[in-house]
Structure 1
Amino acid sequence: MARPSYAYLKLKMSGPTGVITVLGDPRRAKEIVNLNASMAEESGAKVEFVAYKLTVDPTEMPMEKKLTPEPSFHSATGTKNIQVHPCDPSKTAKIDDDLDPK
C-alpha cells in the first residue's frame, strides 16, 4: 500500500523495517508539467487544424478581404460637409445642416 502526496512530492509506503519515503524533485516535476502542457496544446492544435481544413474552402477569400457592399442608408437632404481636421481640408464629414454651429 502506497500513499502519494502530490502537493509535497512524496510517496510513502510500508517497508520491511518501517515507512519508506520517496522524495520528488520540484524542478523536475515543473519541467514535466510544462512539457505535458505544451504537448497537449500542440496535439490539440493539430486536431483543430485538421478539422479546420475539412470545413474551410482554401479557394474562398477571407472575410476581411472581401469587398463590403455600399451602406444601405443614404441621407435624404439637409446635410453639409464640414472640415474635421484644422490643417487638412480633405478630412471632411457630413452633418445635418440644421445643427447649431456651437
Structure 2
Amino acid sequence: MSEPHLHASHPDIAKRLKRAEGHLRKVIEMMESGRACLDIAQQLQAVESAIISAKRALIQDHLDHCLEHAVGSLSKEQRGPIDDFKAITKYL
C-alpha cells in the first residue's frame, strides 16, 4: 500500500468540496419542492463555481509541489518552459 499523498492545501480543497456538496443537496431539495428554475440555476452555478475552484486549487498545488519536486533544481534558462507552463495553467 502506498503512503498517503497529502499537501497542506488539501484540507482547504476538501472544505470547498464540502461546500459544493451542501449546495448540490440544496439544488436537489429545490427541485423536489418545485422551486423556480431561475433559483435552481443560481444554486447550480454555486455548485459549479465551488467545484471549479477546488479543481484549480488542486492543479495549482500539484504544479507547485509535485512538478517542482520532479524537476529538481534547474538553471534559470532550463526553468523557462516549466515556469511558462505553470503560468498558463492559471487560465484553465
TM-score bucket (shorter structure): 0.3 to 0.5
- When you count helix as a share of all residues, which structure comes out higher? 2
More relative contact order in 1 or in 2 (CA 8 Å, sep 6+)?
A: 2
TM-score by length of 1: 0.35
Larger Rg: 1
Normalising by structure 2, what TM-score? 0.38
